[in-house]
């Protein structure tokens, strides 16, 4: 097998390479400034200062107070902590939670657990064919027992952006805490918590060129909240455990870099995305999934009738192209995407999904390379498909 003509990474929704400036900022805290932030001597105070400065940077971008920023181990932990923390703290008020049918599994699996083992009632709001939640459906779903609403900001599979600000107004009018999973949105969209109107918001550093293994939960001051990790007073008693200083520094550095050039980056990447979408949709029996305009600037997702998405991925990989068929957390599953099914896409077509997500290193030449090889891959796979050959015969 020969070496691919080009290496193209188009799975930035799964993870991103750590920015060189982020690595540079992190390095001293591994071997030189390695103190425990809870220690009172110089090395400890130095580590504590790094955390405080990082918290300030994150709070500034969120438009939040420093004491509203909680550092966690990842976006999944942030989602889990927000949902369980609020649900358990408000158990005396009610046991009803509202979410959407297109959430990341960090949310939906937590909902299933709360329902099965703790007796919470969960309402899953439907979406339209583009994956958008109707705020009117949210308003109708609220009851006197509702203690939390959690809706994803931008979908990790199809890139659709939800009307979070509109929905949070509905929640606020009823005095119900509102959480959004902003893991996929961070680094591309406005995450100012007052603009969004949210009470809780989750982030993960590795989605915006920071390190894996560190995240953020924003929790508005005054929100009833029960910690899930106990054993120390770290993070103002909301998340026990010695803080991961180098990774926290890396997260804050990466977030600052991302929002320092947000408009220019989004403009360039969205132009590449649109070029990619236009080219892919020239392939017969292809379909764009997600909202045509209200989508992340780097996200393009498709289905191709009569073939399997996994086969497309394997053939792309042989040509040096890294892509996915949906969420990185579910790509190994044989089940069709719950997001696509919720959008009304038939199961047999949902199995043919392809997600291409661009990043800072991608170029027009990368896009053109993909557009040059993808049609041939689709044609080759369809030639082996009995369903496609039957369709041709009928035509």
Active site residues: 329
Contact 74, 204 (CB under 8 A): yes
Residue 213 gets which letter from DSSP?
S
- Among candidates 195, 191, 188, which has minimal Cα distance to 217? 191
Contact 154, 189 (CB under 8 A): yes
| Cα–Cα distance for residue pair 353/341, rounded to 1 Å | 11
Other CB atoms within 10 Å distance of the CB of residue 62: 24
Going by their DSSP bridges, the two strands 96-100 and 121-125 should be labelled as parallel
Other CB atoms within 10 Å distance of the CB of residue 4: 15
**In the beta sheet, which residues pair with residue 180?**
201
| Cα–Cα distance for residue pair 381/76, rounded to 1 Å | 36
Q: Which residue has the tokens 């005095």?
A: 175
SS3 content of the chain, % helix, strand, coil (to 5): 45, 15, 40
């Amino acid at each position: 097998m020969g070496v691919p003509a080009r290496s193209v990474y188009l799975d930035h929704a799964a993870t991103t390479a750590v920015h060189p400036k982020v690595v540079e900022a992190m390095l001293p805290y591994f071997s030189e400034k390695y103190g425990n932030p809870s220690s009172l001597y110089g090395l400890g105070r130095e580590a504590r200062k790094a955390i405080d400065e990082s918290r300030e940077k994150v709070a500034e971008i969120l438009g939040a107070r420093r004491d509203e920023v909680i550092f966690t181990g990842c976006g999944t932990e942030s989602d889990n902590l927000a949902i369980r923390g609020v649900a358990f703290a408000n158990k005396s008020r009610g046991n009803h939670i509202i979410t959407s049918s297109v959430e990341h599994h960090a949310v939906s699996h937590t909902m299933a657990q709360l329902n099965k083992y703790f007796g919470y009632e969960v309402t899953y709001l439907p979406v339209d064919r583009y994956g958008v939640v109707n705020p009117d459906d949210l308003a109708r779903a609220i009851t006197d027992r509702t203690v939390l609403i959690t809706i994803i900001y931008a979908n990790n599979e199809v890139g659709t952006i939800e009307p979070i600000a509109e929905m949070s107004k509905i929640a606020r009018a009823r005095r119900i805490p509102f959480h959004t999973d902003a893991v996929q949105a961070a680094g591309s969209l406005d995450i100012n918590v007052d603009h969004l109107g949210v009470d809780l918001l989750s982030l993960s550093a590795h989605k915006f060129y920071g390190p894996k293994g560190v995240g953020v939960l924003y929790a508005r001051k005054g929100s009833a909240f029960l910690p899930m990790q106990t054993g120390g007073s770290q993070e103002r008693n909301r998340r026990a455990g010695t803080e991961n200083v180098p990774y926290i520094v890396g997260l804050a550095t990466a977030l600052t870099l991302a929002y320092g050039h947000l408009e220019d980056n989004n403009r360039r990447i969205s132009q590449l995305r649109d070029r990619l979408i236009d080219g892919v949709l020239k392939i017969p029996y292809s379909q764009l999934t997600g909202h045509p305009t209200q989508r992340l600037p780097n996200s393009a997702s498709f289905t191709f009738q009569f073939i399997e998405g996994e086969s497309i991925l394997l053939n792309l990989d042989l040509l040096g192209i890294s892509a996915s068929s949906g969420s990185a957390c579910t790509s190994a599953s044989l089940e069709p995407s719950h997001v696509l099914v919720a959008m009304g896409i038939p199961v047999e077509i949902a199995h043919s999904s392809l997600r291409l997500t661009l990043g800072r290193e991608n170029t027009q030449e990368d896009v053109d390379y993909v557009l040059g090889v993808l049609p041939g891959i689709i044609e080759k796979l369809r030639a082996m498909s009995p369903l496609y050959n039957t369709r041709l015969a009928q035509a």
